[in-house]
A and B are shown apart, each in its own frame.
Chain A
Amino acid sequence: MSDLLNAFAIAGKAFFGFQAIFFALLAIGINIHFGYTGLLNFGQIAFAMLGGFGIAISVSQWGLPFWVGVVVGVAAAVALALLLGLPTLRLRADYLAIVTIATSEGLRLVFRSVSATPVTGGTRGLAAFNGDFMDLAPWDTQHRYRILGTTWSGGELWVALIGWVLVILFSLLTWQLMRSPWGRVVKAIREDEDAVRALGKNVYAYKMQSLVLGGVIGAFGGMVYAVSTGSAIPDQYQSANTFLAYAALILGGAARVLGPVLGSMILLFLLQFADTGLRALISNGVIPEGLLSSTDVAQIRFVLVGLGLMLLLVFRPQGIFGDRREVMLDAR
């Protein structure tokens, strides 16, 4: 029983922790792409990688200030969105899907390659670039604080605070944008592109703006992740993370302002709870070691996400808070 309570407390920390922020920001971006505009961007993790490495490379390789690193990360994300959108936004949805996932894997392979080591640190990545940010914290980042049965370091709290401020700001931005004329055009593109074109709107330009905006939000997610872990390693940015973010978005409800945020929190809570709970059950001998060893638990969570994603799409594509009429399910 105490194991269960412990698992609950650890999962509760995941509910508010930096990973929930990371996935929430990725999913807010994907929500603008997929939920509102109907773009299938499967390369969101590439934007996050550029955000994280934008800071890491600027600070630890070029010796620039932290804030310049943030600007570099955002600029890189904008450039990537333009490069991605240029060839694919005129094509059908599944082409964009293939190209974006190919790009995100390709970029990761470039970043981790031996020849990129002088810039990106190769497979080992970069570290020690978040000092400036941590120094801004109004409290001691080394001290450990106990909150409701969980332990947080001062640094974790500081990152979580700024991260949630970012999540709130971007959610407000999404809310306001989707009430504006711009949002109405974008949603109309999701419903019927040809009708919007017939009204004289430049569909291509709107799609591009949406891709850039969502990508930049994703880049901020990557920054939160890099600053929080204090390191940027190319293999942290695997494309499985994009699909975790999709799972979070669909769980919460696509085309809803708070869908991606609540979805990420719930998903991370469930995953962490399953993780800690399974480990406890294995170490107690409730689940025999032969059936499932504790090293397999990290894989189990992806199995669960995969299964959950399939079941959600089939039985409840609108997620917890969504509206079925607003979820784009047909390819064009």
Chain B
Amino acid sequence: MALATVVPGVAGAAGEKLVGTLQTSRSGPIAGVGITVETADGDEVDSVETDENGRFSVDLPGPGQYTISLDADALPDTVKLGSGGDTRTVTVDPGRSQPVNFGLSDGSANSGGGTIRAVQLFVDGLRFGLLIAVCAIGLSLIFGTTGLVNFAHGELVSIGAIIAWYINVRAGVPLIPATIIAMVVGAAVGALNERGIWRPLRRRGTGLVAALVVSIGLSLLLRYLIQIVYGGFSNPYGDYQSQRAVSYGAFSLTNRSLFSIIISVIVLVLVAVMLQRTRIGKAMRAVSDNRDLAASSGIDVNRVILVVWMMGGALATLGGVLLGLSDQVQWDMGFRLLLLMFAGVTLGGLGTAYGALVGSVIVGVFVQMSTLVIPDDMKYVGGLLLLIVILIIRPQGILGSRARIG
């Protein structure tokens, strides 16, 4: 019970399982491979075959040590077993769904395919950075127009991704219409945020620090509500999962990553055009620049802020779906992205829309490229370090003005 308090990430799952996926980037998921699980004494527990997504799952009688082996003859010719051979011995803790990794390789890492790791990472980073930018524009515009540092923005990302998951997987709607529906819901969630919480608080004259702490409370509240409703597991979307990487010379990309980049660029260009050309876009920039002056020249500030929130909610939803496509849909995906969004937004200059764009792309590329030097599981640390370094050198950010840092 003591642990339950301080390890919020641990969700209790009843029954022990062994799970895993057989796939490589070139062959895609590998179906129909026999998997046999034995206890430490050599008694067979079960034998199964991988499904069309290359996945397998074996229910176990209880915690303990198990040996799991795969039928190497059923693998495609191009796929080779890793150095560990065709058996694995794992220890399963109580209530745990233990992943098993056979470390398959298809020779793509060192073959003549021509991918150069640095270029590959740069392209991956570009995709990730553009995704962060899509999520973070709302965060930056909300800060610009209201002064609120919204710690609950990550939850907009999670909520959007999870609504799209329910529409896509549970209701069976294809992912693209599901995303559009989710974006509409996301905009409504954003509007609800503004109308239900932030506008009344501004009217009460709540200070910015108090509002910041309120947003932390909201973030905690929403995040753990999401975990209760959605559960502590990670799930993929129903579409576009089994794609092979297509080679483009120096790098290779799955089609979904390529379209992630294209969609992000289109959306970001549209946002930029809107900010530059349309009435509401100009009004947003005017309110960001000087709220009182904007109000006195006849701009309805509250309406502009409402539109900013709706736009932020819809964009966060889109970013969440793109993140769910490349990783998986998880209850705390938005919170983990939040710090990188902050890094991007601060790097570019708090409160400037274009700054959020530039900063996020830099953070994305930096995070991915840093795996050239540091281990993969520490790559987010690189982004956070970049944030601290930039604050020492240029606290107002790349595109920020000196006056903003106060």
Residues of A within 8 A of B (CB): 19, 40, 42, 86-88, 90-95, 97-99, 101-103, 105-106, 109-110, 112-115, 229, 233, 235-238, 240-241, 243, 246-247, 250, 271, 275, 292, 295-296, 298-303, 305-310, 313-314, 317, 328-332
Contacts and interface: CB of A to CB of B under 8 A. Distances in A.
Contacts of B75: none
Contacts of B384: 102-103, 105-106
A122 to B, nearest CB: 10
A250 B216 CA distance: 13
Nearest to B13: A295
Contacts of A109: 377-378, 380-381
19 contacts: A19-B2, A90-B395, A91-B405, A99-B391, A102-B343, A102-B388, A109-B381, A112-B377, A299-B225, A299-B227, A300-B224, A303-B221, A303-B228, A306-B218, A306-B219, A313-B214, A317-B210, A329-B210, A331-B208
Interface in B202-218: 204, 206-210, 212-214, 216-218
Contacts of B388: 87, 99, 102-103
Given A102-B388, A236-B6, A295-B12, A302 B217 contact: no
Interface of B: 1-12, 147, 149, 197, 201, 204, 206-210, 212-214, 216-225, 227-228, 339, 342-343, 346, 350, 375, 377-378, 380-381, 384-385, 387-388, 391-392, 395, 405-406
A108 to B, nearest CB: 10
A240 to B, nearest CB: 5
Contacts of B395: 87, 90-91, 95
B221 to A, nearest CB: 3
Contacts of B214: 309-310, 313-314
Given A92-B406, A113-B377, A317-B210, A238 B385 contact: no
Contacts of B6: 19, 236-238, 241
B8 A302 contact: yes
A102 B217 contact: no
A302 B223 contact: yes
B396 to A, nearest CB: 9
A110 B222 CA distance: 27
A276 to B, nearest CB: 9
A298 B391 contact: no
Judged by DSSP, the binding face of A is: helix
B212 A97 contact: yes
Contacts of A92: 405-406
Contact of B5 (A247, A296, A298): A298
Nearest to B378: A113
Contacts of A241: 6
Candidate in A102, A238, A329 with the most chain B CB atoms within 10 angstroms: A102
A14 B406 CA distance: 43
Contacts of B212: 40, 94, 97, 331
B199 to A, nearest CB: 13
A331 B8 contact: no
Contact of B217 (A19, A237, A271, A307): A307
A200 to B, nearest CB: 21
B392 A87 contact: yes
Contact of A328 (B8, B147, B209): B209
B211 to A, nearest CB: 8
Contacts, number: 169
Candidate in B1, B209, B378 with the most chain A CB atoms within 10 angstroms: B209
B339 A105 contact: yes
Judged by DSSP, the binding face of B is: helix
Nearest to A42: B216
Given A40-B209, A113-B375, A331-B147, A298 B217 contact: no
Contacts of B227: 299
A332 B147 CA distance: 11
Candidate in A109, A240, A247 with the most chain B CB atoms within 10 angstroms: A240
The 8 residue pairs across chains A and B that have the minimum distance between CB atoms: A306-B221, A309-B217, A306-B220, A329-B207, A331-B208, A310-B217, A330-B207, A298-B4
B228 A330 contact: no
A91 B391 contact: yes
B217 to A, nearest CB: 3
B17 to A, nearest CB: 16
Contacts of B220: 240, 243, 302-303, 305-306, 309
Contacts of A93: 209
A110 B379 CA distance: 9
B339 A275 contact: no
Given A113-B378, A114-B375, 4 more contacts: A94-B212, A296-B228, A301-B5, A313-B217
A307 B406 CA distance: 31
A317 B391 CA distance: 30
A79 to B, nearest CB: 15
B224 A306 contact: yes
Nearest to A233: B7
Contacts of B201: 314
Contact of A329 (B2, B206, B223, B381): B206
Contact of A331 (B3, B209, B218, B339): B209
Contact of B380 (A94, A106, A271): A106
B8 to A, nearest CB: 5
A39 to B, nearest CB: 11
Given A95-B405, A246-B216, A299 B377 contact: no
Contacts of A97: 149, 212
A143 to B, nearest CB: 20
A295 B342 CA distance: 32
Given A19-B2, A98-B387, A331-B208, A302 B224 contact: yes
Given A240-B220, A299-B224, A303-B221, A87 B391 contact: yes
A275 B3 CA distance: 13
A110 B377 CA distance: 8
A112 B7 CA distance: 14
B207 A310 contact: no
Contacts of A303: 220-221, 224-225, 228
A221 to B, nearest CB: 12
